[in-house]
Each structure stands twice: as structure tokens, then as C-alpha cells.
Amino acid sequence: MRRKVAILGATGTVGQRFIEILKGHPWFEVSVLAASERSAGKRYSDACTWRLESEMPEEIGEMTVVETSLKAIEKAEDIDLAFSALPGSIAGPVEEEIAEEYPVVSKASAHRMDEDVPLLIPEVNPEQLGLIEVQRERRGWRGFISTDPNCSTIQLAITLKPLMEFGLKKVIVSTMQALSGAGYPGVPSLDIIDNVIPYIRKEEEKIQFESLKILGTFDGSRVKPADIMISASCNRVNVRDGHLEAVFVELEAKPTPEEVEDAFRNFVGEPQRLKLPTAPEKPIIVKDEPDRPQPRYDRNEGGGMSVVVGRVRRDPALTIKYLCLGHNTVRGAAGAGVLSAELMVAKGIL
């Protein structure tokens, strides 16, 4: 039997991706759509301006949107899990309320750095699922909260994980981030046409703090942050989907670019070993062409779930430099949430 899921923030950019990815999913069935008071009570097709290239699933369009509260969700359906794509500013208390009864897999930033909440990338740190036990004991909830990292952090951390074997010491990253990362309608067109905006609120801090928790060591009760120095500089560019990042790393072992490429190519994690439905065959794809990856051509690799790396070369200042690209609303958002939930099913947590 498929597990019944609610999508919180179902009308938004990430909420729509959840609906697209969950269409025909073997393990999950969309049973509740929740959004703000503005949308509650309306048919989904009336409440939502569908912005994806795929068609809105007909049966989803017919569903009635409910308010985002435990009471409204319980009244609508007895769910097994809620995916949260709520704005970070409102997600905190709402997710806590819902987690008293149901598991919440969240894309919002509100609880990412809580000591007892996993900050999960299934290929990178599946052991952080152990925090769910700690959290339940501490908070006395029947459900729990598990979070996925910020979109630009997920793709970076996936590429940093295989570099840990070379003794990763320092990371400098400069991002070129897509417009869909700001939600809808996001950045006004007159601000971004013919332009680059060298500032994304709180993004640099998220990359710098979240990466250390993601790559940290879980000792059974808490995560000790990784001992790495990370510096980020974030830019919004005139691209629809797909964040591109220029990454510079200092590695103790001084590997050659070819050895680093091999480490990227050979990297697999639990989702690949368990053959989870949304897992890409290769978490990292390495391009040989000198002018790739590019957002327009490479963002849909692995169904949008692979991180595409290119231009791996020696760096005269640190050790190695490369470019990485990830689809921000798939690997960076809804796809990440679905993969996390699939891992929880495979591990018997859901």
C-alpha cells in the first residue's frame, strides 16, 4: 500500500515539483495539499498558477487545498508523512505542530541547524537519521522533523563528500544561482535582465554553516561539525533553473585532477546501493568538454538528480578547482525531499 502524503506549500515552486515527482510514485500518494489562507478552500487548479513544463496531473487539479495546520490536515486525511515546502519564515512553529503527530520532511530552513534534527543528503550522511530517535525522546513527538539542506549547499556537499578521502581542508565557492531559487514570482524581471545580482539574503551563511553539519560526524547522540574552512560568495544570474558553482579546494593529499575525477565518478551512496526509486544511477556525472557543465544543457542529467561536474583542474592558489551544477528545484529541493523519504522507508523509519 502506498503511503499517504501531504504537501505543505503545495502551490509554490517547490510544491509543484513535489507534485510532478510524486506522480505515479511507487511508495507515496499525494493525499493532502496545503497552502496559505489565500488558497485554502479553493480547487488546486484555481489556487495555483502551474509553472512547470509537464501538465498538472488532472486528479491533483480537482483536489481542494486546505489550510496549513495540524487540525486542517487531520480533518482532510490520515496521512503518513508531510513534505514541507513552506517559506522558512513561517515553517518553524507549523512544522513543530505537525511533527507532534506526523513525520515532516522539510525543505525549509527553520529547523536545519537544530541539534536533534537531521540535515540529510541520503548519499552523504544517511547516519544522521539516527537523530530522529534522539529527537523523539527529547521532544516526546509521535512524528519528527527531518530537513534537507539549502539548494546550493546540497550540490556542493555531494561533490565535497568524495574529496574528504584526500583530507579536505579549505573550500572557496562562488555561486551563479538560478531565478527559480527565489520562488515565484521571485526577482523582478527589470532587476535581473542584463544583470547579475551579487547578493542572495542569508545564502552564504547557509552554505558555510550547513556544509559543516552535513559533513560532520554523528556519534549516536549529536553531530560534531566537520573541521573544514568554507567561504562562499553568492550571485543571482539570469538563468531559469540550475545553480552553477565555481569551487576551489585545498586538499592535504595533493591528488592529481585525474584522481579527483575518478573519486567523483566512483562516488555512490546508500540510495544507489538500495536502488531507491528517485536515486540517480550516478550522483555525480563528470563532463569532459572544456565548456561544461552549462545549466541549459546539463541540469536534467539523472532526471535532475545528478550533480554535473566539469573543468576539474589544478589550482595554483589551493589544490584543485572545478565547476558543479545542480537542478535547484529537483536535486536541490523536491527531489531531495522525496529521496530522503525513500531512504526512511527503506530503513523502516516510515
- Residues in the site for ligand NAP, rule: CB under 6 A? 9-15, 35-36, 38-39, 68, 85-88, 90, 107-109, 151, 180-181, 183-184, 328-329, 332-333
Which amino acid type is present at position 113? Answer: M
Tell me which residue of 18, 90, 11, 54 sits closest to 333, measured CA to CA. Answer: 18
Place of cell 536545519: 112
Q: How far apart are CA 217 and CA 255, in angstroms?
A: 24
Set of cell numbers at residue 338: 522525496
Q: How far apart are CA 198 and CA 312, in angstroms?
A: 25
Tell me which residue of 173, 156, 208 sits closest to 326, measured CA to CA. Answer: 156
Q: How far apart are CA 260 and CA 138, in angstroms?
A: 41
Set of cell numbers at residue 255: 591528488
Tell me which residue of 105, 112, 116 sits closest to 79, measured CA to CA. Answer: 105
Smaller CB separation from ligand NAP, 329 or 340 = 329
- State the catalytic residues: 151, 243
- End-to-end, the C-alpha distance of the chain in Å comes to 13
For the four alpha carbons of 191, 300, 264 and 338, in that order, the dihedral sign comes to positive
Pair 124, 161: CB distance under 8 Å: yes
What contacts 70, CB < 8 A, 6 or more positions away?
Answer: 97, 98, 100, 101
Q: What share of the chain is helix, strand, coil (3-state, %, to 5)?
A: 35, 25, 40
Set of cell numbers at residue 333: 529541493
